[in-house]
Amino acid sequence: MNNLKAILQAGNIREVVIVDDANDIVPTAKDLAADTIKWQQFIEDIKEEDEKQLESIYPRYNELRADELPDQDEFIALLWRERTRLRQTLITPLLERYQGDKDQDLRYIKTLTDILDKEDIRHELVGRAFEQKALTADLVIIDLFMGSAQDEESYLFTINSLKRVIERRPSNPPLVLLMSRSGRLEAKRKEFRDGVGLFESGFRIIRKVELAEDGKLGRTLTRLATHYSDSLKLAVFLNAWKTGLGRACSRTADLIRTLDLPDYAQIQQLLLADEEEPTGNYLVDVFDRVLLHEIEREAGIIDAAIGLNSLSITTYPPPYVVGSKDLQALVYRSIFQNNERLRLVSHAGSPVGFGDVLRRKPAHPAPSPAQVTEPAAADAGPPPPTHPLAGIGADDVVVVMTPACDLQHALTKRCLLLKGTLVPLKPENWTYKSDPIRTPVYEVTPDERYMIKWDMKDFETISHADLKAVLAAPMGFQVVARLREAQALELQQKLLSTFGRVGLLNPLPGTFAVKVEAYLPDLEKKLFKLTIPALAEHPAVTITGRKANKSAVSLVLCEDVCEAICSFIQTLDLATIHPGTRALIAELRSTGELLMLERGADITDLKDSGFKDIISSRPAIGEQPAISRTIALVRRRGSWIEEPLNNSFVGKAGVILVVAE
C-alpha cells in the first residue's frame, strides 16, 4: 500500500468504525437459533445439580418451559457469561458452533486491525449497536450478515440499521466497506445499494478471507477514498432534489388549493368550453408547468447542481454493480410522456393529439390493398379509395404532425402524419449525428427497444373520419405513445422546414454489453489467452457518446474484472512472457496502474485489425509523481491474426484486451 493513511486523509477520511457481531460481548438467542439439535441435547442432559446452578444464575429458569428457554436473550447471555462455571460436558456442545464462528470472525477482525494499525489509521470496534458511532464515522467497515445465523434476517438488520444512519446524514453519508464470510456477498451488491440508498461510488465489498491478501484492502480503500468528495457531491444533489421537490410540491398544492369550484367553473365557461378542451387535461398541463417553475425556484437544487460541474472526469471510478447502467430508460422518459397520461386526453375534434405515435395493433401485419375496406361514408356516396395507412407495416409507425389547436377544433379537413421505421436499438444505431433524423429510443418494454428513423419525404394525410375508422378497426392502429411537446415540435419544424430548429437536451450516452478477452505475448511473441473467469462472468460495457462534437466510444470493465486481471498479472510467471513485455508487467505489479482500466479505454474508430493504446494518466498523489504512458492495448476480435506481435507493440502489452460484440 502506498501510504494508505495519506490517501485516506486526502479524502478527508479520519474516523473508521469496524462493525461486527463478533465484537459483541454476549450472543443473542438468534445467534443460537440454528443449533436446534444441540438445544435438544442440552435440555435432555440437564441434571439436578445443573438445574440448581441454572436457577441460581437465571431466577426465571423454573418459570419457563424447556422449549421457551432458547428464545430468551437474557438466558443466553447468562449462559455465555457463566460458561466456565457450568458443567463443560453440558455447555460446551451447545456453544461450540457459535464459539467457532466468533473466533474465526475475531481472527479476521484482527487481520483488519493489524493492517490499519500498521498504517496508523485510527479505528474503533463496535457490535450490533453501532448506529450512534456510525453517525460520526467517515468510513464504516461492516459485516453484511450481522448475526451468527448468517441468514436473511441478519442481512436485513444490517441494511435497515445502515439505512437509518444514512437517512440521518443524507448529505454526508459515510463510506461503507461490506465484509462477510458468506458466499452470497457478491450477489447482494445491487440489493444493498438500492436498499440502503447509497451511490455505487460510496461502497465496496470484500470477503473476509481477502483481508489477508497482499494489497487487497489497500486498493479497495484507495478506490473509496479517491472518489469520496465526488460521491458526496452526488449525495448533496440527491438530498437537495428530494428536499426541494417536497417543498415545490407543497407550494404547488397551496396554489392549486386557491382555486375552488367557482374558479374552475369560470375557467370552463370562459375558456375551455370555447376551446373544446377537457378540464382535467388542461389543468394537468398547467400544474405540470407550475410545479416545474417551483422546482426551478429551489436554490438548494441549483447550488447542488452547480457543485456537480466540478466532478472529476479524469479519475472516475469503474462500474461496480454488475450490468450496464440503463441510461436509455432515462432518455425514453425524457422524450415520451407516460402512457398513463394518454387516458386523460379526449379531443372533441380528433381522436389523436399532436405528437401521438400510431402503430398497428399487435399480431396484425399490414393488409394488402385488396383486403382493405373502408366504412361507408355518412352521406352514402361511393366507397372511398384505399386509406393511406394500408402501406404502413408492422415495423412502421406514424406520428401526428397537425398542430394541437387544429386537431382540437377540427380546423383541418385532414390530419398530417409522418412515417417512421422501427429499428432495433443496437450499439451501431446510437449516434449523435443529425442525419438520419430519428428519435433515439422508443420503448415497448424494458427488454424491447427501438430507434425510430423518420423519413421526411414520406408523409401523408388522412381524414378525421378515416382516422377514427382505422383506430376502431380490429386490424387497424392504436396510439402507442406520445412525444413530449418539444420533441414533436422539432419533428414538425424539420418536416415543414420553414421555421428555425428547436434546441433539445442531448440524449444520454448509449450503453451496450460486450464480451472481452485478455491476451499476452508468449516467448515467440504469439498471443495466448489469459484464463480469467471474471471476464466470462461479467460482461464489459461500451458507452457511446460524443466528445468535441464527434462520436466517441469507451470500453468500461467492472471492478471485479479489473481486480481479477491485476491478480492474474500479480501471480503470472514472467518466464512465460516475451522478454520485451516483462519489464512493463513487473512495473505494473508494483504501481497498480492496471487499475486504470477501471476508467475505461477509448475504442473510438477501433477497427477489426490493429491495436489502440490504453494510456495510464494519473495525477500526483503524495510523493508519487504524475504519470502518462501506454500500459495496455485493445483491439476488436474481427479477423483474428496468428502472426507474432509486432515489435512496436511488445513493450506496450501490459495486457491486451480483445473486444467481441
Instruction: Give 354-397 as a DSSP string.
Output: TTEEEEEPTT-PPPPGGG---PPPTT--SPPPPPGGGG--TTEE
313 vs 193, which has greater pLDDT? Answer: 193
Res 168: pLDDT: 94
Q: Which of 83-87, 327-331, 378-382 has the lowest mean pLDDT?
A: 378-382
Q: What is the mean pLDDT of the chain?
A: 85
Q: How many CA atoms lie within 13 A of 527 on its CB side?
A: 24
624 DSSP assignment: B
The predicted model scores a pTM of 0.74
Whether residue 184 is predicted with pLDDT greater than 90 in this model: the reply is: no
Residue 299 region, left (φ>0) first, then alpha (ψ -120 to 50), else beta? alpha
**Among the three residues 496, 524, 548, which one is the final residue of a domain in this structure?**
496
Question: In a 10 Å sphere around its CB, with 0-12 CB exposed, 13-18 middle and 19+ buried, how is residue 492 labelled?
Answer: buried
Cβ neighbors of 531 (< 8 A, separation 6 or more) are 568
Cell numbers 437509518: residue? 164
Q: Which three cell numbers stand for residue 281?
A: 387535461
Could you give the 3-state DSSP secondary structure of residue 456? Answer: strand
Residue 145: DSSP 8-state: S
Report residue 504's pLDDT band, with 50, 70 and 90 as the boundaries: low
| pLDDT 10s digits, 564-579 | 888 898 888 999 999 9
Q: Is the dihedral of CA 61, 67, 70, 73 positive or negative?
A: negative
Beta bridge partners of 482: 356
For β-strands 656-660 and 510-521, DSSP reports them as: antiparallel
At residue 71, the 3 state secondary structure works out as helix
Choose the final residue of a domain: 223, 241, 273. 223
304 and 176 assigned to the same domain? no
CA distance 625 to 196: 37
More confident residue, 430 or 217: 217
Same domain, 139 and 205: yes
Q: Are 519 and 656 in contact (CB under 8 A)?
A: yes
Of the ranges 190-199, 339-348, 508-517, 537-546, the best mean pLDDT one: 190-199
Is the separation of the CB atoms in 541 and 586 below 8 Å?
no
Of 99, 118, 103, 98, the C-alpha closest to 35 is 98
Mean pLDDT, rounded, for 526-538: 89
One domain for residues 476 and 343? yes
Range of the domain at 622: 510-660
Is the residue at 313 inside a domain?
Answer: no
Per-position b or e across 30-41, b if 16+ CB within 10 A of its CB:
bbbbbbeebbee
pLDDT of residue 590: 79
* Residue 417: Cβ within 10 Å count: 24
Given the C-alpha cell 494518466, which residue does it identify?
Answer: 617
CA distance readout (Å), 515 to 110, 235, 561, 605: 40, 33, 12, 18
Q: Is 182 part of any domain?
A: yes
Are 387 and 477 in the same domain?
yes
Is residue 80 domain-shared with residue 108, that is, in the same domain? yes
SS3 for 362? coil
Distance CA 529, CA 539 (A): 17
State whether 578 and 653 are in the same domain: yes
393-425 confidence digits (pLDDT tens):
889 999 999 988 888 777 788 899 999 999 998
Q: Assess whether 251 and 273 both reside in one domain.
A: yes
Q: Based on the fold, state whether residues 61 and 191 are members of the same structural domain.
A: yes
Nearest to 573 by CA among 497, 520, 507: 520
Does the residue 319 lie in any domain?
no
126 touches 141 (CB < 8 A): no
Domain match, 198 and 240 both: no
Over the stretch 280-306, which tens digit does the pLDDT of each residue have? Answer: 878 888 898 999 999 999 999 999 999
| Count of domains forming the chain | 4
- Encoded amino acid at 357, one letter: V
Q: How confident is the model at residue 602 (pLDDT cuts 50, 70, 90)?
A: confident
Q: What is the dihedral of CA 91, 92, 98, 99, to 10 degrees?
A: 130
Residue 346: pLDDT band with limits 50, 70, 90: low
- Write out the H or E segment, with its range, that includes residue 552: strand 550-556
- Together in a domain, 538 and 644: yes
Q: How far apart are CA 66 and CA 58, in angstroms?
A: 13
pLDDT at 49: 92
State the residue for C-alpha cell 352521406. Answer: 379
Cis, bond preceding 424 (omega within 30 deg of 0): no
Task: Please state, in angstroms and as integers, the Cα–Cα distance from residue 132 to each residue in 138, 157, 163, 261, following that order.
Answer: 13, 15, 13, 51
Structural domain contains residue 322? no
∠ CA 487-417-385 to the nearest 5 degrees? 170
What Cα–Cα distance (Å) separates residue 422 from each residue in 109, 342, 393, 395, 569? 57, 21, 10, 5, 45
Same domain for 366 and 280, yes or no, is no
Taking only the tens place, the pLDDT of each residue in 436-445 is 788 989 999 8
Amino acid identity of residue 331, one-letter, is V
- Domain boundary, last residue among 433, 462, 496: 496
Quick check: is 491 in a domain? yes
- For residue 366, name the pLDDT band (cuts at 50, 70, 90): low
- Whether residue 278 lies inside any domain: the answer is yes
Task: Please give the pLDDT value at position 263.
Answer: 77
**Residue 148: pLDDT over 70:** yes
Q: Which cell goes with 107?
A: 481472527
pLDDT at 558 over 70: yes
Omega before residue 446 within 30° of 0, cis? no
> CA-CA distance, 48 to 34, in Å (whole number)?
27
Q: Is residue 314 part of a domain?
A: no
- Ranges 123-127, 383-387, 530-534, most confident: 123-127
Report the alpha-carbon distance of residue 147 to residue 128 in Å, rounded: 8
Work out the angle at residue 241's Cα, subtended by the Cα atoms of residues 237 and 242, and round it to the nearest 5 degrees: 120
The residue among 330, 360, 552 whose CA lies nearest residue 441 is 330
Cβ proximity of 358 and 420 under 8 Å: no
Distances in Å between the Cα of 489 and the Cα atoms of 355, 483, 588, 591 are: 8, 9, 54, 54
16 within some domain: yes
Query: How many whole angstroms separate alpha carbon 371 and alpha carbon 365?
Result: 12
The DSSP element (H or E) to which 42 belongs, if any, is helix 36-45
Secondary structure, 3-state, 89-130: HHHHHHHHHHHHHHHHHHHHHHHHHHHHHHCCCCEEEECCCC
My answer on whether 453 and 532 are in the same domain is: no
